[in-house]
Amino acid sequence: MKEILPGSTIGILGGGQLGRMTAMEARRLGYDVEVYDPDPLCPAAGLSSRHWSYSYEDLDRLKAFARSVDILTYEFENIPSASVKELEENSLVCPSAAVLAISQDRVKEKQFLAQNGFPVAPFRVVRTLAELTASAVELGLPVVLKTVQLGYDGKGQVPLDTIEDCRWGWKELGEPKLAIVEKKINLLSEFSVILALGYERNFSFLPIPRNYHRKGILDYSIVPSGLGKEVEEAAKEIALEIALALGVVGLLTVEFFLAENQQILVNELAPRPHNSGHFSLDSCITSQFEQLIRAICKLPLGQPTLKGPVLMRNLLGDLWRDGRPPNWPELLKIPGLKLHLYAKKYPRAGRKMGHYSLQGEDLKAVLALDKQAQKILQEDLEPSRTERNG
């Protein structure tokens, strides 16, 4: 195929913050952008020349959307792969519907990884409470019970520490017809490998972020990871082999566990920009979002060289007290801080409203700046003296 040059139109399925930041980078490169998302208030709507606000299962609207753009990509896995497969008949979609179908289904994903020899935590596919109980005994407690689909930001999974927990956990997930149960791993750390791949199997890795979670949601990431060259190179090799086995064109994020025994295990796949890669917007020569555009449009991949040590921290709706935003002016006094807000209208607990990145001479300096930022944000949540005194 020929290059899809600036001036062409990129269609993005999904208009959340990932779609928004992809649209920002696409427009900076000179592309037009159209977004398809059922939410009339989706964050990417304001950055698109046209927002198609219809169901992901409305094939007529989807096909009309596809005809209006030069290439399609998607921002998250919760778009029906069957709908994307329909679009592939007459449109170019990157990554493919086949990749999406695997990554949006935990059973298919784990089976693909295991059958191709990639390291994963021991798991079993279960269909009944009896199968869950037997599998928990076989794997050895504790285990984690997970839904097959719609699992992100800690959703759709229940930790089970005892056999007695199995009945409760099964009901907690709604007594599913199909689920997956995994051995709970004693972790040293979590990290992710994000790589871009072109049509000719050319590839480029972002610097590897080390990730820290709270209540199942990414809290912050730091780069460099501090994991050591041996771990990073081994993970890169695994991630590249997975990407090539899937035939990815675009981005692939591979989430990894580093176990206490130093074993590297694949946790999940995401064929799109990733929350842990947001640091690249401010701290890399080429961001993950620009790399996606370059890859799917058959342009040369950029150099995602790290400018310096960086921390990226998510800003959740919990920081909005009674709908009032945090003290942005005070936060922006911190040197090296870059604030990104996603134009979401309604904050709520656990909702990702934005993020900030912090750059400094070394990680020690960056962590000190982050401590200042956290103090500002937390103080803003404390009741005022008047409120405390009634």
The pTM of this model reads: 0.95
Residue 367 has pLDDT above 50, yes or no: yes
- Do the beta carbons of residue 119 and residue 264 sit within 8 Å? yes
Q: Where in the chain is the domain with CATH 3.30.1490.20?
A: 122-183
20 assigned binding-site residue: no
Neighbours of 187 (CB within 10 A): 12
Q: Does the annotation list 155 as a binding residue?
A: yes
Residue 183 known to bind ligand: yes
End-to-end CA distance of the chain: 68
Indicate the class that CATH gives domain 122-183.
Answer: alpha beta
User: What is the pLDDT at residue 388?
Assistant: 45
| Residue 307 known to bind ligand | no
Residue 172 labeled ligand binder:
no
Q: Is 382 annotated as a binding residue?
A: no
CATH 3.30.470.20 in the chain is located at 187-381
Average pLDDT across the chain, whole number: 96
Is 213 within any annotated ligand binding site? yes
Instruction: Judge whether 152 is annotated as a binding position.
Output: yes
* Backbone φ and ψ of 337, nearest 5°: -95, 130
pLDDT the model gives residue 188: 97
In the chain, CATH 3.40.50.20 covers 9-93
- The reported pLDDT for the residue numbered 153 is 67
Is 317 annotated in some ligand binding site? no
Cα angle at 31 between 30 and 36, to 5 degrees?
A: 150
pLDDT tens digit string along 250-267? 999 999 999 999 999 999
Structure confidence by residue, pLDDT tens digits, 136-180: 999 999 999 999 987 676 678 999 999 999 999 999 999 999 999
Is residue 185 marked as binding? Answer: yes
Specify the pLDDT at position 380: 67
Pairing state between β 179-183 and 310-316: unpaired
CATH code 3.40.50.20 for 9-93: yes
Distance CA 386, CA 2 (A): 65
Q: Is 157 annotated as a binding residue?
A: yes
323: left (phi over 0), alpha (psi -120 to 50) or beta: left
Question: Quick check: 300 pLDDT over 60?
Answer: yes
Q: CA triplet 379, 385, 389: central angle to 5 degrees?
A: 135
From 3.30.470.20, 3.40.50.280, 3.40.50.720, 3.30.830.10, which CATH number describes the 187-381 domain? 3.30.470.20
Tokens encoding 229: 């060259």
Helix 81-88 to helix 59-67 angle, to the nearest 10 degrees? 50
Say whether 268 counts as a known binding-site residue: yes
